[in-house]
A and B are shown apart, each in its own frame.
Chain A
Amino acid sequence: MSTRTVEYAVGRTPEMGVDGQPAYGPMAPIDLPEPEFGSENMLINIGPQHPATHGVLRLVCELDGETVVKVIPHIGYLHSGFEKLGEYRGWNQVVPLTDRMDYLAPLIYNCAYVMSVEKLMGIEVTERCKVVRVILMELDRIFGHLLWLGTTAIDVGAFTPFLYAFQEREKIYTLHESLTGARITTSATRVGGMMADLPEGWAQACREFVDELPRTIDEVDYLLTTNAIHLGRTQDVGVISAEDAINAGFTGPNLRASGVPYDIRKDRPYYDYETYDFDVPVGEHGDCYDRYLCRMEEMRQSMRIIRQALDRLPEGPIDIDDPNVVLPSKTDCMNDMESMIHHFKLITEGIEAPVGESWFSVEGSKGELGMYVVSDGGSKPVRWRVRPPSFVNLSVIPQLAEGHLVSDLIMINASLDIVLGEIDR
């Protein structure tokens, strides 16, 4: 084994000498064996408790120096058995479980779930309800993308966008709170309508928020889009071709960044999305930078949709007029016998869905969010299945990260926009 002489600066920090002057120790030469680099690969465990894994994701990596040879993701640390719990709950009681999955865009989950049940039951919600749900879903798309923007920027070392993004998210939290009483666990939807109609002044507050938000987006845009460090960290990192992305089940902005213009709002429109004027941003290279650009543009498009929806927000009831599905008002319960009986039946027995099944998907903030409900004619689902977009998106990370540096692995993971509550369910 070859050796080399290393000089150690012993006592380089000055200490107090006898006469009050700084005194330096002697430089002592030490013989050390020279380390042999690159002899074997290293096994590194990242997570489950690690800020860069955005939750309780655990990545076991085999490293050759700083290069990732292999990544093996481990999930399930947040597994709560939501789908099993849903089988013990009535159709409306499942709603609170849905927002605990994706707590970054809870209203999209609330809406998607009740939409699948309504499809199963053949319920057509009121026009006002449709528009309100469109507003809420687009608002939460912005909500989810803002969190992604802030945390991803932090992962590449930019701290300011995080503060800007969270300042705006705070305003959406306030909108959530004034509508539902909760900031994260909204549980705002019910089969056949909403928990409550929009409170007074909510639409105006939402419009003000949408008018203010572009300034922040533009500022972050200015900070990141042409930033040399950001470009260097994201361009040509984690590239996936369109064919691979389709085969791997990518959906949402991740897929569109690879150049596939698949957006459920355009391809299988629900809630009159075909009548809204908006564009679907599509990338070209399928790398982290294109995913960033797609999400930034999506926020702007969501704002366009919200403005149009606020303009057309019709008056009228928000719940459907069906006493077997929607709870009567408390006043009616106290005043007429029929409403009281309906109330009693709905509370004790719950809604009954017809035998059958339905698979309904909406464009979530992370990708295609599918809800599959199976009913045997009872008041509880036989099976409630969520097609989790970030679960499928995350499964590609070994393929994306291999050959990149560890720091790129963090960036790739961030660019996929995962939420572990939904992955582990």
Chain B
Amino acid sequence: MVDDTLFDAVEKGPRTSRAAPEGVASVPAEVPSHPSVAALRAKFGEAIGAHQLHAGDEHVVFVESSRIREVLEYLQQDPDHHYEFLLDLTAVDYGGGKPLQVVYQLWSMAHHRTLRVKVELSVEGDLTVDSVVPLWKTANWLEREVFDLFGVTFDGHPDLRRILMPENYAEGHPLRKDFPLRGRFSRAEQTRRALGLHVEDNYTDLEMELGKDPQLVADESDGSLPGDEPVVRGPMDAPRAGAAAARDESVGARGDDTTDPDAETEKE
């Protein structure tokens, strides 16, 4: 098989996995027992899936996605396990239609024990899993990040919105394998969108609520207040449809010169 060229990879996204993550050579068939996994099996029965050992001493246990909060609550609260730290919450996409994994990395300071809990979500499904923010506040931003970069929805999250990408990012979820490295839109479209932002776009609905008097929010680009006449310096400044329908008339009335500020200054 001929490998993709570098540029193909940039357009198509990284090649998908060659081997299935399960049933692999480096994972021994006989996994030494882990006290928490044994207890989980006894308590939750069929909700507990495979138990794997990775890289020598890392125990991984798969849990049915619908019962993840129950399982994690038990692991956190039960004095025999007491995983008080949620060290990490992330996701792994193997690509090629394989299920997307949400990964919880736990650490019990009391018992000196680590455990990695995984949930598999079918990429054809709705990619929803219960939020664990009620158990660990750590999960708040970490779940937002997974939502942002992988598109997993966390049920019961208090404030689930994008965190690293801009709020109005429309190209999808960047860390999915089907997402090309350059993004989905052309450079021109990306630039146009970035320049087309208005000051309100930088604030969430909640923040717009907080700033009760929108008159106080000055436009970052030119320092003008929303009530002022809009400054039109180029085609990028054209007001959004609907946001300022009233402005359109005044822009049109100024004539063509307004779209080219340099021409105006030259005349002067």
Contact = CB atoms under 8 A, between A and B. Distances in A.
Interface of A: 40-43, 60, 62, 70, 72, 74-76, 79, 81, 83-85, 87-88, 119-120, 122, 244, 246-249, 260, 262, 267-268, 354-359, 361, 368, 370, 372, 374, 376-378, 380, 382-383, 385, 387, 391-392, 394-396, 399, 424-425
A88 B181 contact: yes
Contacts of A122: 55-56
Interface in B135-164: 136-138, 140-142, 145, 149, 162-164
B61 interface: no
Contacts of A75: 163-164
B191 to A, nearest CB: 17
B55 A72 contact: no
Nearest to B218: A45
A355 B88 contact: no
Given A120-B55, A355-B19, A43 B207 contact: yes
Given A83-B149, A249-B86, A356-B27, 12 more contacts: A43-B210, A60-B203, A72-B206, A75-B163, A120-B55, A122-B55, A248-B137, A267-B112, A354-B26, A377-B18, A392-B142, A395-B137
- Give the one of B55, B87, B140, B162 with max A CB within 10 A: B55
Contacts of B141: 391-392, 394-395
Contacts of A244: 137
B210 A376 contact: no
B24 A356 contact: yes
B105 interface: yes
Contact of A356 (B14, B26, B174): B26
Contact of B9 (A88, A246, A382, A396): A88
Q: Which 6 A-B pairs have the closest CB atoms?
A: A249-B138, A43-B211, A358-B55, A395-B141, A355-B24, A376-B17
Nearest to B76: A247
Contacts, number: 145
Interface string B202-230: 11101100111100110000000000000
A249 B145 CA distance: 15
A174 B12 CA distance: 43
19 contacts: A42-B211, A75-B164, A76-B163, A81-B174, A84-B179, A88-B9, A88-B14, A119-B56, A247-B137, A268-B114, A355-B27, A370-B88, A372-B90, A372-B105, A374-B92, A376-B19, A382-B94, A383-B93, A395-B140
Interface string B55-97: 1101010000000000000000000000011111010111100
A425 B164 CA distance: 9
Nearest to B27: A356
A399 B26 CA distance: 44
Interface in B29-75: 54-56, 58, 60
Contact of A72 (B14, B19, B204): B204
A394 B137 CA distance: 12
Given A43-B210, A76-B164, A119-B56, A247 B138 contact: yes
Nearest to B162: A76
Interface in B167-204: 174-175, 179, 181, 202-204
Given A41-B212, A355-B24, A249 B206 contact: no
B88 A247 contact: no
Contact of A359 (B105, B136, B149, B217): B105
Contact of A62 (B56, B84, B210): B210
A359 B212 contact: no
A67 B142 CA distance: 29
B58 A359 contact: yes
Given A76-B164, A387-B88, A356 B112 contact: no
Contact of B217 (A43, A385, A424): A43
Interface string B6-25: 00011000100111010011
Contacts of A70: 210
A40 B88 contact: no
Contacts of A380: 14
B217 to A, nearest CB: 7
A40 B213 CA distance: 9
Contacts of A85: 181
A40 B212 contact: yes
B163 A385 contact: no
